[in-house]
Amino acid sequence: MGLASSLHLFFFLFSISISRAPFGNSWGKEGHIMVCKIAESYLTEKTRKAVAELLPETAGGDFPSVCPWADEVRFRYHWSSPLHYINTPGVCNYKYSRDCHNSKGVMGMCVVGAINNYTGQLLDCGDLSNQYNLTESLMFLVHFVGDVHQPLHVGFEADEGGNTIIVRWYRRKTNLHHVWDVSMIETAMKYFYNDNLDTMVKGIQLNITGGWSDEINSWENCQNKRATCANDYAVESMHLACNYAYKDVEQGSTLEDEYFLTRLPILKKRIAQAGVRLALILNRIFDSSNGQEIQSL
Ligand SMILES: *[C@@H]1O[C@H](CO)[C@@H](O)[C@H](O)[C@H]1NC(C)=O
Ligand SMILES: *[C@@H]1O[C@H](CO)[C@@H](O)[C@H](O)[C@H]1NC(C)=O
Ligand SMILES: *[C@@H]1O[C@H](CO)[C@@H](O)[C@H](O)[C@H]1NC(C)=O
């Protein structure tokens, strides 16, 4: 084979490997890693140490690398699948007592219940009767704080948070849920950030210290000292799902620049909020010296 044709083959194989649909069923890997990279920069020294001690060996000390883990065990730990989301009965409001349950009606089995559950397990980490695997508690917690900020993780039951709404993202066939988990992030990285995750994280961090700096206090405002404020984050997601994600989308819609450019600011802000709030939750759990501690759940 001549050089030209082997190069040709190389690019052909390369383009197959990058165009394969990425794995994942909630903010794709990229979304979760971005949330945790942003959170990492706000951890206190004490929290950083506590988190590092709980990481599994396989993480090699890299905290963001464990943030997609909960998706990888979703089928092995079948019971954990409903902990990634909330479904509402087709209305644009969410109520814990009505909506936070699994398909068998067991209360608390939703993303808000899970965030409070795993926060509670980590708070009790000094307690010798604590029977939980706290490495897993941490890996679940960091993932679900990401998920609760993805607007379509608080969506309608009938369309499974947009999973059954088939759309075209530019030319590729996909579904609306996947657009928010993965496609918008991929397209944003490609258009604006050199196809580089760290560059996108830096861009979001610049917005946090720039245009959004006035809002950080309100993002961090959590009156609920007895638990996390995950319930409030779910309410926000529900409203964003109705006002942006579902808005003007039908079965078979083609979503292109207009949808992308009007929704991308929302998506970036949700990643930023998730990161800032994850750091807040972890600091409240592991570093009581910052005056934000949570009373036991
Ligand atoms: C709480 O965590 C335990 C251990 O992972 C799990 O068995 C249980 O289903 C969780 N419940 C909720 C609501 O997250
Ligand atoms: C805790 O969970 C992690 C991740 O699933 C696993 O690798 C580890 O072996 C578990 N530890 C114990 C003591 O079971
Ligand atoms: C975020 O940063 C980008 C690039 O610097 C800028 O164009 C955009 O206006 C910023 N957005 C906000 C809300 O500050």
pTM, 2 dp = 0.90
| Ligand 2 atom closest to Cα of residue 139 | 4
- Nearest C-alpha to atom 8 of ligand 3 is from which residue? 207
Q: Determine the pLDDT at residue 223.
A: 78
Q: Determine the pLDDT at residue 222.
A: 85
Q: How far apart are CA 215 and CA 151, in angstroms?
A: 19
Asked if the model's pLDDT at residue 289 lies above 90, the reply is no
How many A from CA of 207 to the centre of ligand 3?
6
Residue 65, both tokens: 């690398």
CB of residue 130 inside a 6 A radius of ligand 3: no
How many A from CA of 31 to the centre of ligand 2?
25
In the chain, % of residues over pLDDT 70? 88
Asked if the model's pLDDT at residue 191 lies above 90, the reply is yes
Asked if the model's pLDDT at residue 2 lies above 60, the reply is no
- The mean pLDDT of 9-14, rounded to a whole number, is 38
How many A from CA of 101 to the centre of ligand 1?
12
How many A from CA of 264 to the centre of ligand 2?
37
Q: Which comes out higher in pLDDT, residue 185 or 296? A: 185
Query: pLDDT for 207-254, tens place per residue?
Result: 999 999 999 999 999 877 667 899 999 999 999 999 999 999 999 999
- Nearest C-alpha to atom 6 of ligand 1 is from which residue? 80
Q: Where are the domains of the chain?
A: 25-288
Asked if the model's pLDDT at residue 23 lies above 70, the reply is no
Contacts of 150 (CB under 8 A, 6+ apart): 26, 27, 31, 180, 181, 237, 270
Contacts of 172 (CB under 8 A, 6+ apart): 183
Mean pLDDT of the chain: 90
Question: CB 60: neighbour CB atoms within 10 A?
Answer: 8
- The mean pLDDT of 130-156, rounded to a whole number, is 97
Q: How far apart are CA 31 and CA 149, in angstroms?
A: 11
In the chain, % of residues over pLDDT 90? 82
CATH 4.10.520.10 fits 25-288, yes or no: no
Which ligand approaches the C-alpha of residue 265 most closely? 3
Asked if the model's pLDDT at residue 67 lies above 50, the reply is yes
Pick the range with the lowest mean pLDDT from 43-57, 219-233, 248-262.
219-233
pLDDT bracket for residue 71 (50, 70, 90): very high
DSSP string, 98-125: HH-B-TT--BT-SHHHHHHHHHHHHHTT
- The mean pLDDT of 271-295, rounded to a whole number, is 85
